[in-house]
Structure 1
Amino acid sequence: MKHLILPAVVAVAPLAAFAQVEQGPANADFQPAFENQTRAPALESSAVTVTTVADGLVHPWGITPLPDGDWLVTERPGRLRVLRADGSLSDPVSGLPEVDARDQGGLLDVAAGPDFAESRLIYWTYAKRVSGGTVTAAARGVLSEDRSEVTEVEEIFTQTPPSSNAMHYGSRLVFDGPYLYVTTGEHFSVSDRQLAQELDTTYGKVVRLTHDGSVPADNPFVEQEGARPEIWSLGHRNIQGAATGPSGELWTIEHGPAGGDELNLPEPGENYGWPVVSYGQRYNGEPVGSGEARAEGFEEPVYYWDPVIAPAGMTFYDGSFEEWQGDLLIGSLTPGGVVRLEIEDNRVTGEERIRQDLGRIRDVHMAPDGSLLLLVDQEDGSVLRMTPGI
């Protein structure tokens, strides 16, 4: 589906024609390609109650539910913990591989396998030190009955090539039936970021695998000589959020530079432009790549932010609070809190900023009761519960 290629600027309503979320001036002087591609109308403020579920975690990064009400939580230094239903935390689960915890690296996302109740398989992503540098890797293993260790560990994906920069690893895990999506980053440096456009690397890509790490036969570049067959889409910067939408489609969200955070609907084989085009600019104020926000052959983002929200984990709401039904809830690292997007027909129709005083929210996951569990990413981090409608 070719849904958002717009090589020329489309006339849109003036950005000041409706009430917007208060966010300050943009860094870059670009006009959106279509109405509500950025600074959508402000939604009515939501009433929420926030409580602390657990604290004392060191830079928590990913969280996933288990069938009996417990949760698994990663800590970036390399620890996996069980968060029990009563709010207590287990000792670190043993058996995980060593992680490269320098800079932005470490133990990252975690997901219980779709058949966890039978197989006890869990999956995780992490920064791995290898000969020649560091990479994003994904692995899986069997969680013991008492949840104290992981056995039968096998690596199912290793980014290529290694980088000397311990930055921009991605990464999130999303299951889609027999498939598993893994998102990656492009390691930040001016030289490394160019590889987001190269098909012989897995920098700045969405990767699509089966659960055991093999490559699906219908991936878009399987038959292309010199291309990595696991690539689903390319031209991404640093994808730290991914989720399945209400109709089963994959959505991703990635960090831009100074401005230009993007929400995308990655289609097979499509190119999302980084670092050739961007709705942001470099941190020193210089232009990114071509200096343009769009160009022929690159997909438009569904939505972008300037200034940034520094997006992390996200989820589509499907709980008991009707006012949020189908909305996208995104963790923000800067300025913090949760960003809510109302989406209709794959276009954003409204935005809300919720509790920006909560700090750096690294992941967002919906609990069975319709509340949200939020990870606060700091040295003395925590798990919060946000309950809407209270």
Structure 2
Amino acid sequence: MTKVKHLLSIVLLLHFFACAQDKNTNVANYEYETVVNDLEIPWGFVFLPDNSMLITEKAGTLIHFKNGKKTEITGLPAIKRHGQGGLMDIALHPDYKNNGWIYFTYASAEGEGSGANTALMRAKISNNTLTNKELLYKATPNFSGPDHFGSRIIFDKNNYLFFSIGERGERDLNPQDLTRDGGKIYRLKDDGSIPADNPFVNTPNAKKAIYTYGHRNPQGLIYIEETNSIWSHEHGPKGGDEINIIEAGKNYGWPVITYGINYWGTKITDITEKEGMEQPIHYWTPSIAPSGMCYVTSDKYKGWKGNILVGSLRFQYLDRCVIKNNKVVYEEKLLDNLGRVRSVVQGPDGYIYAGVENVGIVKIIPKN
């Protein structure tokens, strides 16, 4: 009987963390309109102070969208278009109005090794051309495999820059090794220098920019100002996509612990938890292939404030996650079957915008 109770407790615990695969589809309370059309893979986008947009196309194009017109920004660095790699996320400096800095991540073939790895650059725009380009970080070495480049970029209230890099498909090599890039979330100052209080600055041979490690392929990263917290989501293998609260120096377990299995059905590990490794606040089984992430602060949508929105590449919807006490307690499908949702942003007007592959950027409009 004790064993039966123990097994029942495990089942209930798994259900609690991996709840909400029985998602409701919400179509009654909102509609959408396409505001930017004919985009292939809009990995990231930001709103400029004049309400125009900068949009990254994974294939390697940076687009300025203004007054219904797309203009290509020239002067990008050499971008390696390979598998999951290409031109990825984009962010504005918090003081962009005064300094004009934009930041973006991309797959780069520069440096040691064949193939590519993720790079972070900042630049300014003048006459539709990138100027003042500065390479702030380049993960090394390069790998020839096509997988797991990451990548997202955010700033916190102190203007620290956080960005993610996937483990490049080298799960047994990179994510648990502090001397290697990959499978990490990094923190820099806005000029690319290393903060003196980064968690591994005094660890011999460690990459000093590392903030957290043990990640697989984080493609969602948000800063929640009201709680001064950073949240991330990342792709699991077959099952085990995760949402994590990111804290300095913590180990998020991949591949030592995971709720997923290999794509061909075999086990990666026999354990889902281990001392010294963080548990996700939520995980998805089956995997939804999460990409893009947004924290809702707007009052435009009834009941959405304080929710987290996550794009699903695999099942082609935007997942509205209701959060209570740092747990996902309810999920709802938005934009169901419109396409692979790659990016999601709350605009300066308070409306939610989503980048949908082979559709464009759509605006979600509440009906009441």
TM-score in terms of structure 2 length: 0.92
User: Within the alignment, does 1:386 sit opposite 2:364 as a pair?
Assistant: yes
SS in 2 for 1:174: strand
User: Within the alignment, does 1:142 sit opposite 2:124 as a pair?
Assistant: yes
Q: Is the 8 A contact 1:370 1:387 kept in 2?
A: no
Equivalent residue in structure 1 for 2:239, among 256, 259, 262: 259
User: Within the alignment, does 1:82 sit opposite 2:64 as a pair?
Assistant: yes
Equivalent residue in structure 2 for 1:224, among 203, 208, 211: 203
- Other-structure match for 1:181: 162
Equivalent residue in structure 1 for 2:105, among 109, 125, 134: 125
Greater displacement, 274-283 / 39-48: 39-48
SS in 1 for 2:174: helix
Q: In the TM superposition, what is the alpha-carbon distance from 1:127 to its structure 2 partner? A: 0.3
Greater displacement, 68-77 / 36-45: 36-45
Q: CA RMSD in A?
A: 1.9
After superposition, residues 34-183 of structure 1 pair within 5 angstroms as 36-40=16-20, 45=26, 47-84=29-66, 86-90=67-71, 92-130=72-110, 131-133=112-114, 134-144=116-126, 146=127, 148-176=128-156, 177-183=158-164
User: Within the alignment, does 1:298 sit opposite 2:282 as a pair?
Assistant: no
User: Within the alignment, does 1:319 sit opposite 2:301 as a pair?
Assistant: no
After superposition, residues 197-346 of structure 1 pair within 5 angstroms as 197-245=176-224, 246-288=226-268, 290-320=269-299, 321-346=301-326
- Deviation readout 1:291-350 (Å, 9 max, x if unpaired): 222222211001000001110011101112241001001111010110011112212221
For 1:44 and 1:155, locate their aligned partners in 2 and report how far apart those are by CA, in whole Å.
43
Equivalent residue in structure 2 for 1:351, among 327, 331, 341: 331
- Deviation readout 1:58-83 (Å, 9 max, x if unpaired): 32211011111011000111110012
Percent of aligned pairs with the same residue? 37
Which letter maps to 2:353?
Answer: L
Q: Is the 8 A contact 2:124 2:132 kept in 1?
A: yes
Q: In the TM superposition, what is the alpha-carbon distance from 1:100 to its structure 2 partner? A: 0.4
For 1:76 and 1:348, locate their aligned partners in 2 and report how far apart those are by CA, in whole Å.
30
Q: Is the 8 A contact 1:37 1:302 kept in 2?
A: yes
Q: In the TM superposition, what is the alpha-carbon distance from 1:178 to its structure 2 partner? A: 2.3
Compare the two structures and name the one with the higher strand fraction. 2
Which letter maps to 1:186?
Answer: E
Unaligned runs of 5+ in 2: 1-5
Which letter maps to 1:81?
Answer: I
Q: Is the 8 A contact 1:235 1:274 kept in 2?
A: yes
- Deviation readout 1:137-161 (Å, 9 max, x if unpaired): 00001112x4x11101010011122
SS in 1 for 2:191: coil
Q: In the TM superposition, what is the alpha-carbon distance from 1:95 to its structure 2 partner? A: 1.4
- Deviation readout 1:189-241 (Å, 9 max, x if unpaired): 4xx54310000012100100001111101111111112111111110000001
SS in 2 for 1:117: helix
Give the count of matched residue pairs.
356
For 2:7 and 2:199, locate their aligned partners in 1 and report how far apart those are by CA, in whole Å.
30
- Other-structure match for 2:3: none
Q: Is the 8 A contact 1:311 1:332 kept in 2?
A: yes
Mark the CA change 1:167 to 1:348 in structure 2 (over 3 Å): closer, same or farther.
same
Which letter maps to 1:332?
Answer: S
For 2:113 and 2:253, locate their aligned partners in 1 and report how far apart those are by CA, in whole Å.
27
Mark the CA change 1:360 to 1:165 in structure 2 (over 3 Å): closer, same or farther.
same
Mark the CA change 1:167 to 1:42 in structure 2 (over 3 Å): closer, same or farther.
closer
Mark the CA change 1:166 to 1:14 in structure 2 (over 3 Å): closer, same or farther.
closer
SS in 1 for 2:16: coil
For 1:227 and 1:10, locate their aligned partners in 2 and report how far apart those are by CA, in whole Å.
41
Mark the CA change 1:204 to 1:14 in structure 2 (over 3 Å): closer, same or farther.
closer
SS in 2 for 1:387: strand
For 2:8 and 2:229, locate their aligned partners in 1 and report how far apart those are by CA, in whole Å.
29
SS in 2 for 1:383: strand
Q: Is the 8 A contact 1:319 1:368 kept in 2?
A: no
SS in 2 for 1:52: strand
Which letter maps to 1:342?
Answer: V
Mark the CA change 1:44 to 1:128 in structure 2 (over 3 Å): closer, same or farther.
closer
TM-score in terms of structure 1 length: 0.87
After superposition, residues 357-372 of structure 1 pair within 5 angstroms as 357-372=337-352
For 2:7 and 2:361, locate their aligned partners in 1 and report how far apart those are by CA, in whole Å.
43
- Other-structure match for 1:3: none
Unaligned runs of 5+ in 1: 1-8, 16-30
